[in-house]
Amino acid sequence: MEQIGERRRHAQMKDLVAEASRALARLDADRLEELALSCQALNRALPPASEEEGRLLAAEARDATGEMAVFRRVLEATRANLNVMNRLRELRAGRLEYGGQPGRGWSGTESGHGDN
């Protein structure tokens, strides 16, 4: 519980969530991985020992619901962007046009005929 109290003195839960949204917007993978470790630590420290601690945590959670909604939305937008980028990578690899038919390329054609 010491850990929760310590963390609360440094950053409220809403600040943590807002920081995650900002880091994701600028694709700061290092920072996001640090935040993931912080969240793991916070999760391990649950549940709080005292009723007072629980009340404070509940209040923080209520305060952070708006930021959480933003984070969720940014995360979903990122997933959609990632889908598009993966699609681009497939385009680059030519898989969309020639998917499943690698033999149509030079190397495939030649080796297929065993004439190289």
Can you state the angle between helices 29-44 and 13-25, rounded to 10 degrees?
150
Instruction: Output 2 or 111, the one with its CB closest to other proteins.
Output: 111
Residues in contact with other proteins by CB under 8 A are: 13, 16-17, 20-21, 23-29, 32-33, 35-36, 39-40, 42-43, 46-48, 51, 54-55, 57-62, 64-66, 68-89, 91-92, 94, 96-98, 104-106, 109-110, 113, 115
Pick 2 or 66: Cβ nearer other proteins: 66
Cβ closest to other proteins, residue 9 vs residue 44: 44
**How many other CB atoms are found less than 10 A from the CB of residue 32?**
14
81-97: b or e for each residue (b if 16 or more CB lie within 10 Å)?
A: eeeeeeeeeeeeeeeee
Record the tokens describing residue 51, joined without a space.
């009723």
Smallest distance from other proteins to CB 107, Å: 9
Classify 28 as helix, strand or coil. coil
